[in-house]
Structure 1
Amino acid sequence: MSHAKTLGKLANGALKLQKCVLPATNHCRQASTSTNLKDVMEKIIPEKQKEVIEFRKKYGGAKVGEVTVDMMYGGMRGIRGLVTETSVLDPDEGIRFRGYSIPECQEKLPRAPGGEEPLPEGLFWLLLTGKIPTQEQVAAVTKEWNDRAGIPNHVITMLNNFPSKLHPMSQFSAAIAAMNSESKFAKAYAEGVHKSKYWELCYEDSMDLIAKLPTVAAIIYRNLYREGNPPDSIDKKKDWSWNYTSMLGFDDPKFVELMRLYLTIHTDHEGGNVSAHATHLVGSALSDPYLSFAAGMNGLAGPLHGLANQEVLVWTTKLQESLGGEVTDDQLRDFIWNTLKSGQVVPGYGHAVLRKTDPRYMCQREFALKHLPNDPLFKLVAQLYKVVPDILIEQGKAKNPWPNVDAHSGVLLQYYGLTEMNYYTVMFGVSRALGVLASLVWDRALGLPIERPKSFDTPGLKKLVGAS
């Protein structure tokens, strides 16, 4: 069977999976009918604390893996050394949020009235509680975020005075750090609050911060790309994604739906990626959630992490300009081979952990097939999906020849008119807040200590392994 036919079957299988409804189980029932997320957490946390204490008491000495010299020099790749409750990344299956795949989340999480994509508010509830929320519970989160969305005047002044040459991610990170003037955690810690209350204060800061991020991100966008015209105020009748889209200056209902999908699928990717790990690491020192998340955003700004979605679109656009119009598969293959022979890589292909097509790529592909099947840039991306994996397999260097999430997101944003590629990582950051801050709440709830792994110099490591 040809690779193209195999890809077609995989895509059809993914579409069927997305549409399926799993049988009802205890795992997906709501833990509570309460619409107050903090109240629900107060009931869940003691149970989880007890589970972890008993588990550590019985199995604390059990070995979970081994560390090799290559792992230590190779960026700790594959070392089992973190606990992250919110999501797990399987190399073959992809991401699962609290046990649910992306297609299952699309099927089960509440949607906006008339909408087809899940609301990020619902995923945040799931990440914190492990349970699928009701429509009423999601509506309560939306209301709470809308009520908490105001940002300090000193942050607005700072944003309005940044030079236009300052990268959007630098502005985003600086604004987040500056908002720690509002931190309930920092204030209470300075007053000597008991550590049993840490999670509640972390929760309050996280809810405040998530609520404020769309406004901060919109001010940055409008200052840089819309002549400084201020964004609209928060509309209490709109959900989180819809408000963000409106404040950016877009009103296409399909783009709002895309943003709901985008802000859902970029939230979390277990704990070892740079933005999640940086947030966890800085938070382990009991830095407040504002400072911890700012650290995560500095990591997300790197070209090997969140900035990759911008690099992919730059490369794809240059490819389109270079080849001009529609091209044959053979022409595209020649271009890809020449790219690889020149020592360059194909951006958006491969992943540090995944060994299959990223499910986040697939759900975006399905959105494009439904809403923009004839868009020239999407058609080129689809053609790359058909051609590139075979070439990378033939080359024999890539451990994973399949596309990741970055290979597709920029194309969708371009189609709906958000063409400013430097801004894309800010949108990624707005989404990533939900995952890393939910994780941070659980870090404090479980009382995880300051992170301090042991390091070696090369002579010490040689001695350790018996090298001459």
Structure 2
Amino acid sequence: MSMFRTLSSHLLRQQKCVHPACFYGTQSSSTSTNLKEVLTVKIPEKQQEVIAFRKEYGKTKVGEVTVDMMYGGMRGIRGLVTETSVLDPDEGIRFRGYSIPECQKLLPMAKGGEQPLPEGLFWLLVTGDIPTQQQVDAITKEWNERSPLPNHVITMLNNFPHNLHPMTQFSAAITVLNSESKFAKAYSEGVNKLKYWEYAYEDAMDLIARLPTIAAIIYRNLYRAGTSVGVVDMDKDWSYNFTSMLGYDDPNFTELMRLYLTIHSDHEGGNVSAHTTHLIASALSDPYISFAGGMNGLAGPLHGLANQEVLVWLTQVQQELGDSVSDEKLRDFVWNTLQSGKVVPGYGPVYTCQREFALEKLPNDPMFKLVSQLYKIVPDVLLEQGKAKNPWPNVDAHSGVLLQHYKMTEMNYYTVLFGVSRALGCMASLIWDRALGLPIERPKSFDTPTLKKLAIQASKG
């Protein structure tokens, strides 16, 4: 639990309120449709809150670190403050205190749509408030206006060889976009620290607005013979324009992408892509370079390839056992997989919203039916084998299956979709990093002899 989250719990108890959202905010407290204007009011209040909190509790210890944590990739070490989301092992992800089902219910939707718009989720991540329809429409309009790419980025994308991985292209394009960085320009001109967040905000909005076009050009060049992505429709939302530029016109796929881009947006601050973005930005690197670093982390197979690995594994199960298999035979297969030292990919805390989408839109899809059958079997096997404390399927269990159903079969591209979504959370956090004046990140490290000495002393004490 982060230090900020601990304070949140304390205040909630004082206020006799059981819902975390009561701490973060409720319906948008401002009627302004200008997000930067809203932040101009909120940021000084939050700055004073953090200053007061640190003054009173700055020396308070809020956790312990073990040797295993230090050797085990810092897992379980609570050392970051991330305002945008918290991952609960039982409830799953909460965005500013709101669960995914609550976001689906409360966030504005496209006209005739059934899923929340990512624009609304971004407003929530940045402000802590549920936006109005007018505020979400204003974000859509602003992103559409900011979406044109510089010619040198388009030229570079079109000149990449076809054997260059889509994530490499995605990261490279984001990096060279830093030629447009308003933050870098302002910093070089000696802007006051108190205004850092304003220029980080401008870069963040420009970056998010441009990512769908970058991603679509990569997709068209690699998988659609370089056909044109067309232009952004100024009257349509961010997800609609993205799916249209990709070349998909099924309204159900557009709805899926609205859901996908919303729920993949943020996952606390310690995951590789979010933490890398935060770390690089802590050196006052501009948002483009910082996010490009995060995308290089997302490209790693232990982070961004989860839904691809789930799909590959499901295909192997289907090929080995056939389309129709008994629960007992499937249970034996899962058991043998774990006994052989392998893992069953896709099991973690976020799952239900995509399952509900699939139940409504593709209940008879063979791969979805296999996922549903595994949902009944795998958790008990994992608990029995002691392989997982929280054995429930996560968002990756369905993502690839849903994309395949709508004929997006190019698995190497899935991480790019993930990256477009992850920008929402990374940029929301980066704006607040600069607003709160967080310093360069520089944790202390030990070598093994020193750590042994400290551990022996601690064990005797």
TM-score, scaled to structure 2 = 0.93
Q: Distance in 2 between matches of 1:117 and 1:187?
A: 38
**Counterpart-to-counterpart distance in 2, 1:81 and 1:343:** 32
Tell me how far 1:94 sits from its aligned partner. 1.3
Specify the alignment match of 2:394 in structure 1. Answer: 404
Counterpart of 2:353 (choices 363, 366, 389) is 363
Match of 1:63 in 2: 61
CA contact (8 A) 2:162 2:222 kept: yes
How far off is 1:389 after superposition?
1.1
Give the AA of the match of 1:338: N
CA distance in structure 2 between the partners assigned to 1:99 and 1:397 by the alignment: 29
Quick one: distance in 2 between partners of 1:128 and 1:263? 16
Q: Say what the alpha-carbon RMSD is for the aligned residues.
A: 1.4
Write out per-residue CA displacement over residues 363-410 of structure 1, whole angstroms, 9 at most, x where no aligned residue.
000000111101111001101111111111222232222211111111
Query: Which of these residues, 165, 172, 180, is aligned with residue 167 of structure 1?
Result: 165
Equivalent residue number for residue 386 of structure 1:
376
Q: Which has the higher mean CA deviation after the structures are superposed, 200-209 or 396-405?
A: 396-405
CA distance in 2, matches of 1:46, 1:145: 25
**Alignment pair present for 1:424 and 2:414:** yes
Alpha carbons 2:89, 2:390 under 8 Å: kept: no
Q: Is 1:461 matched with 2:459? A: no
Please state whether the residue corresponding to 2:426 is helix, strand or coil: helix
Name the SS for the 2:427 alignment partner: helix
1:132-281 equivalences under 5 Å are: 132-281=130-279
1:466 partner SS = helix
Q: Quick one: which of 395, 399, 409 aligns to 2:385? A: 395
Residue aligning to 1:122: 120
Q: Distance in 1 between matches of 2:243 and 2:57?
A: 48
Distance in 1 separating the partners of 2:322 and 2:27: 52
Counterpart in the other structure of 1:450: 440
5+ long unaligned stretches in structure 1: 1-21, 351-357
Q: State the distance in 2 between where 1:322 and 1:166 align.
A: 32
Residue 19 of structure 1 is matched in structure 2 by: none
| 2:220–2:228 CA contact under 8 A, matched in 1 | yes
Q: Deviations over 1:199-239 (max 9, x none)?
A: 00000000000000000000010011001112121010110
Query: Which residue of structure 1 lines up, in the alignment, with residue 430 of structure 2?
Result: 440
What are the Cα deviations for residues 97-126 of structure 1, in whole angstroms up to 9, with x where unaligned? 111110100000000011110000001001
Aligned mates of 1:368, 1:247 — CA distance in 2: 24
Aligned identity (percent) is 77
Aligned partner letter, 2:353: C
> Is the CA contact 2:109–2:117 (under 8 Å) kept in the aligned structure 1?
yes
| SS state at 2:65 partner | coil
What is the alpha-carbon distance in structure 1 between the residues aligned to residue 370 and residue 161 of structure 2?
Answer: 36
The aligned amino acid for 2:444 is K
Looking at structure 1, the residues matched to 168 and 22 of structure 2 have their Cα atoms a distance apart, in angstroms, of: 45
Range with bigger deviation, 302-311 or 207-216: 302-311
Distance 1:463 1:349 in 2: 38
SS in 2 for 1:287: coil
State whether residues 147 and 206 of structure 2, in contact with CA within 8 Å, keep that contact through their aligned partners in structure 1: yes
Q: Secondary structure in 2 aligned to 1:346?
A: coil
Q: Tell me which amino acid in the other structure corresponds to 2:389.
A: K
Within a 5 Å distance, the mapping from 1:323-338 to structure 2 comes to 323-338=321-336
List per-residue Cα deviations over 1:78-97 (Å, max 9, x = no partner): 11110111111112221111
> Partners in 1 of 2:339 and 2:268 — Cα distance?
34
Q: Structure 2 stretches of 5 or more lacking a match? A: 1-18
Aligned counterpart in structure 2 of residue 103 of structure 1, from 93, 98, 101:
101
2:80 is aligned with 1:86: no
Question: Which residue is 1:376 aligned to?
Answer: 366
